[in-house]
Amino acid sequence: MNAGQTLAEAVSAATAVLRDAGVPSPRVDAELLADHLLNVGLGRLRALMLGDTPAPDGYAELVAERAGRVPLQHITGVAHFRYLELAVGPGVFIPRPETESVVQLAIDHVKGMQAPRIVDLGTGSGAIAGSLASEVPDAEVHAVEFSPFAHAWAAKNLVPLGVDLVLGDLRDAFQELNGSVDVVVSNPPYIPAEAIPNEPEVALHDPPEALYGGGADGMELPTAAAKSAARLLRPGGYFVMEHAEVQAGWIAAMLARTGAWTHITTHLDLNGKDRATSAVLADQATRNERMGQ
C-alpha cells in the first residue's frame, strides 16, 4: 500500500497483507476497513473500485491494526448481529453468528404470546436481549451482566431499546422475577479451562470472563445458568442456552438429572453442530413426583 494508490490497488494490497497475517477472510476485511473510512456501503465501494477513486487517508493504519489480529469489530467499533448494529470494543465479547440461531429459537417460542417476559443471562454487548427487545413486539426484556466493562457496552446498546439491564451475577439476579418469566436465554461462558482458543482475536481480545465457563469441563456457568432459569421461569416457561458441541450430552443429562425440565432438546447450528439446548420447566406436581415427594 503506497501513497497515490487507487482504492482498488490499496484493497488488493491490503488483502495480501491480511492473508499473510493469517486473517481468515482477508478480502472482505480489506473491503470493510475501506468502507469504514468511506462509509458508502459494500455495493458502492465495489463500484468505486472499478474507477480510479483514490484510497482513503488512514487506510494503511487500519490494515496494519487488523494484520496485528485486532478484531475487525474493535477497529470499526460495531458488530452486526441479526438486525442490530451493536457498539463494541475492548472489554466486551464480540457476538457470534451461531448465537443468532439461539435468538431465533426464543423468537419462535414466543410467537403469539402477549407481552412475553424474557431474561438474558450474561448479556455481554446485549446482542441477545437487544434482538429480542427489537424483534418481539411488546416484549419485556431483562438482562444481567457481571463485568463492568461489558455492562458499559451493553448500556449503550440496550438502554435505547428499553431493556432493563443490571450489573450483577446471573446466579442470583432478578430475585423479584422468580417464577414469573416466560423465556430465559443464555450464551454463558462455557469454554473448558484448558481449551485456549487458537485465533488471536479470541485469545487476546475477547475478555477471559466471557470465555471460560469454570471447571475443567467449562460447565460451572452453564449449570448455574440452568439453575437460575429454573428459579426464574414460570411452570411451562422455556429455557434456551448456547454451549460447545462437546457439552450437548452433558447439558441434556444435567437438565434431566434435576427433574425440573421436560422437552429437553438439542439444536443444531448453521454448520450442523449441536450448539444449543432448550427445555421447558415442568409444573410443580411433576417436579415433586420426580423428586419422590
Ligand X SMILES: C[S@@+](CC[C@H](N)C(=O)[O-])C[C@H]1O[C@@H](n2cnc3c(N)ncnc32)[C@H](O)[C@@H]1O
We find the least distance from the C-beta atom of residue 82 to ligand X, in angstroms, to be: 11
Contact 129, 155 (CB under 8 A): no
Does residue 71 belong to the site contacting ligand X (CB under 6 A)?
no
Would you state the cell numbers that stand for residue 198, as one nine-digit string?
Answer: 487458537
> If you search the block for the grid coordinates 431474561, which residue do you land on?
119
Q: How far is the CB of 87 from ligand X (least distance, A)?
A: 13
187 binds ligand X (CB under 6 A): yes
Q: Rule CB under 6 A: is residue 157 a binding residue for ligand X?
A: no
**Least distance in Å: CB of 277 to ligand X?**
15
28/261 Cα distance (integer angstroms): 44
Residue 280 as a binder of ligand X (CB under 6 A): the answer is no
Of 26, 71, 81, 93, catalytic: 93
Binding-site residue total for ligand X (CB under 6 A)?
23
> Per CB under 6 A, does 218 bind ligand X?
no
| 179 has binding-site annotation | no
Q: Which three cell numbers stand for residue 166?
A: 443490571
Residue in 147, 157, 247, 277 binding ligand X, rule: CB under 6 A: 147
Active site residue 187: yes
- 45 belongs to the binding site for ligand X (CB under 6 A): no
Minimum CB–partner distance for residue 188 and ligand X (Å): 6
Q: What is the dihedral of CA 44, 45, 47, 49, to 10 degrees?
A: 170
DSSP symbols for 37-104: HH-S-HHHHHHHTTTTPBPPTTHHHHHHHHHTT--HHHHHSEEEETTEEEE--TTSPPP-HHHHHHHH
For 221-231, b where at least 16 C-beta lie within 10 A, e where not — what string? bbbbbbebbbb
- 209 lines the binding site for ligand X (CB under 6 A): yes
Whether 122 has a binding-site annotation, put simply, is: yes
Q: Minimum distance between the CB of residue 278 and ligand X, rounded to whole angstroms? A: 16
Nearer to ligand X, 26 or 188 (CB): 188
Alpha helix segments (H runs only) across the chain: 7-20, 26-38, 42-48, 59-67, 72-76, 97-110, 127-135, 148-158, 200-205, 208-211, 220-232, 248-258, 284-290
Helix (H) or strand (E) holding 207: none
187 is in an annotated binding site: yes
Give the CA distances from residue 2 to residues 64, 212, 287, in Å, rounded to whole numbers and listed in that order.
Answer: 13, 42, 69
With CB under 6 A as the contact rule, the residue among 99, 131, 228, 278 that binds ligand X is 99
124 vs 237, beta carbon nearer ligand X: 124
Rounded CA gap, 147 and 25, in Å?
Answer: 30
Closest contact distance (angstroms) between CB of 9 and ligand X is: 37
Are 168 and 119 in contact, with CB atoms under 8 Å apart? no
The annotation status of 265 as a binding-site residue, yes or no, is no
Residue 124 annotated as binding?
A: yes
Binder of ligand X out of 188, 218, 222, 237 (CB under 6 A): 188
288 belongs to an annotated ligand binding site? no
Is 83 annotated for ligand binding?
Answer: no
Tell me the binding residues for substrate.
187-190
Binding stretches for ligand X (CB under 6 A): 93, 95, 99, 122-125, 127-128, 144-147, 150, 169-171, 187-189, 209-210, 221
Q: Which residues are the active-site residues?
A: 93, 187-188
